[in-house]
């Protein structure tokens, strides 16, 4: 069977004649004697073409034409009209008719007109499909382009981050070697100075000005010696001696120690971590790293504020240390892990650099971001190890 054709006409003779002609050409024919009955058949059968009489009772042909074109745009309408005026023909075409056939009509002309409209309908529907396909492809291409741009941005950011880490590692290595050389060259004469002054102290009055000045020299020499020890620790870090331990228990013990330090007496320490979490790391290096971060936070808050210790377990095991201090500017963030870089008058600039080196030795990562409390947020991210929870 060929396409479905609906004939709407209140004249039964026209309905029967048209049905006979069209069925002889293998069309599937449906008949309706009113526009409303025709709407129902269109909804159910979705015919390709409707043959619609212009002069209809209740709902006239022009109104029915507009309704069909509005509700069923893929159904094309050919109008029957006994009024063959040019004005009516123009009005019908403007209202959406695909063609019009004056009454009376020949059977051959009727079939030819329907065939022409079917060809036109096929072309126009195909054009709509092609336009929709073009729009779909254009949308897909735009989506692919956006995805590609996002991937390029992501990979560029990863490359920049990797490049920055390489530069930082190279810088740390170079500064480490420099520190080791300087420490070696300075330590020996410093030891001689300290030893000589201590010998002189034995031969000066205990309460005299000379005694006071010499003790200043000894104390400063000891302080410099401590700085040199820090330099050597940074320059020649020992490999991590990793052990499995309960991270929340370690952190609680560490916080108990903080509460005993006068510098944290006016600082509120908050905690947020899971009840159980095991970490494989060097205990001493982790404690020292946490101490360096806690001291930096206390100094940034000038001894007052809130300090948060948090553990987040996802792709990594992360220890977060966040303070409520003034935060860190972007230019300082860019250099904060450089050795000997410090914003403090008495700072050596080795604390955070040493933490950075320790995290690298653990195949982990140290990052700094803006905290939720307006201060700084340092994150120590350790890789998972089989057996970690």
Q: How far is the C-alpha of 9 from the C-alpha of 54, rounded, in Å?
A: 9
> What's the N-to-C CA distance of the chain in angstroms?
69
Q: How far is the C-alpha of 34 from the C-alpha of 103, rounded, in Å?
A: 18
pLDDT tens digit at each of 389 positions of the chain:
689 999 999 889 999 999 999 999 999 999 999 999 999 999 999 999 999 998 888 888 899 999 999 999 999 999 988 776 778 888 888 899 999 888 888 889 999 999 999 999 999 999 988 998 999 999 999 999 999 999 998 888 888 877 777 776 676 666 666 666 666 677 677 777 877 877 777 777 767 777 778 778 877 777 777 666 666 666 666 788 999 999 999 999 999 988 888 889 999 999 999 988 999 999 999 998 999 999 989 998 998 999 999 999 998 999 999 999 998 888 888 888 877 777 776 666 677 888 888 898 899 999 999 988 789 999 999 998 644 44
Q: How far is the C-alpha of 2 from the C-alpha of 27, rounded, in Å?
A: 5
* Cα-Cα-Cα-Cα dihedral sign, residues 249, 251, 252, 256: positive
Q: How far is the C-alpha of 82 from the C-alpha of 108, rounded, in Å?
A: 18
Kindly list the structural domains of the chain, giving each domain's residue range(s) and its CATH number in brackets, ordered by start.
Answer: 4-105 (3.40.50.2300), 161-235 (1.10.287), 242-383 (3.30.565.10)
Residue 387 confidence (pLDDT): 43
Helix pair angle (107-201, 12-24), 10° resolution: 70
Q: How far is the C-alpha of 4 from the C-alpha of 7, rounded, in Å?
A: 10
Beta bridge pairs of residue 245: 279
What number of other Cβ atoms are within 10 A of residue 356's Cβ? 22
Residue 196 confidence (pLDDT): 82
CA geometry: angle at 186 spanning 182 and 187, to 5°?
Answer: 115
CA distance readout (Å), 35 to 21, 52, 168, 191, 306: 22, 8, 81, 112, 78
| pTM > 0.85 | no
Buried b / exposed e along 63-88 (16+ C-beta atoms within 10 A): ebbebbbeebeebbbbbbbeeeeeeb
Q: How far is the C-alpha of 367 from the C-alpha of 294, rounded, in Å?
A: 15
- When computed from its CA atoms, the radius of gyration of the chain, rounded to whole angstroms, is 44
Q: How far is the C-alpha of 64 from the C-alpha of 35, rounded, in Å?
A: 6
* Among the listed residues 290, 276, 347, the one whose alpha carbon sits nearest the alpha carbon of residue 321: 290
């Amino acid at each position: 069977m060929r396409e479905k054709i609906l004939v709407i006409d209140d004249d039964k003779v026209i309905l029967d004649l048209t049905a006979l002609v069209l069925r002889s050409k293998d069309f599937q024919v449906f008949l309706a004697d009113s526009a409303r009955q025709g709407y129902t058949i269109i909804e159910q059968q979705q015919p390709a073409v409707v043959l619609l009489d212009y002069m209809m009772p209740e709902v006239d042909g022009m109104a029915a034409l507009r309704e069909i074109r509005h509700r069923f745009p893929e159904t094309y309408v050919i109008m029957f009209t006994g009024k063959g005026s040019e004005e009516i023909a123009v009005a019908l075409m403007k209202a959406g008719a695909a063609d019009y056939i004056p009454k009376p009509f020949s059977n051959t002309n009727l079939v030819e007109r329907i065939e022409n409209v079917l060809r036109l309908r096929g072309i126009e529907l195909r054009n709509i499909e092609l336009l929709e396909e073009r729009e779909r492809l254009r949308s897909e291409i735009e989506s692919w382009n956006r995805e590609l741009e996002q991937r390029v941005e992501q990979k560029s950011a990863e490359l920049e981050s990797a490049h920055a880490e390489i530069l930082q590692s190279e810088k740390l290595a170079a500064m480490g070697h420099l520190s080791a050389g300087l420490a070696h060259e300075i330590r020996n004469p410093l030891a001689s100075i300290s030893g000589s002054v201590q010998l002189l102290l034995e031969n000066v009055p205990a309460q005299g000005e000379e005694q006071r000045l010499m003790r200043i020299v000894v104390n400063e020499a000891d302080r410099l010696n401590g700085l040199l020890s820090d330099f050597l620790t940074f320059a020649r870090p020992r490999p991590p001696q990793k052990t499995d331990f309960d991270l929340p228990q370690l952190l609680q013990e560490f916080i108990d120690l903080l509460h005993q330090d006068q510098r944290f007496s006016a600082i509120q320490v908050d905690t947020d971590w899971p009840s159980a979490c095991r970490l494989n790391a060097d205990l001493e290096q982790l404690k020292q790293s946490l101490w360096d971060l806690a001291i930096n936070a206390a100094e940034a808050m000038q001894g007052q504020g809130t300090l948060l210790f948090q553990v987040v377990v996802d792709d990594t095991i992360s220890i977060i240390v966040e303070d409520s201090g003034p935060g860190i500017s972007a230019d300082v963030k860019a250099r904060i892990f450089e050795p000997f870089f410090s914003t403090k008058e008495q700072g050596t600039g080795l604390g955070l650099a040493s933490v950075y080196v320790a995290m690298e030795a653990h195949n982990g990562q140290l990052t700094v971001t803006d905290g939720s409390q307006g201060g700084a947020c340092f994150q120590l991210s350790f890789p998972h190890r089989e057996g970690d929870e």
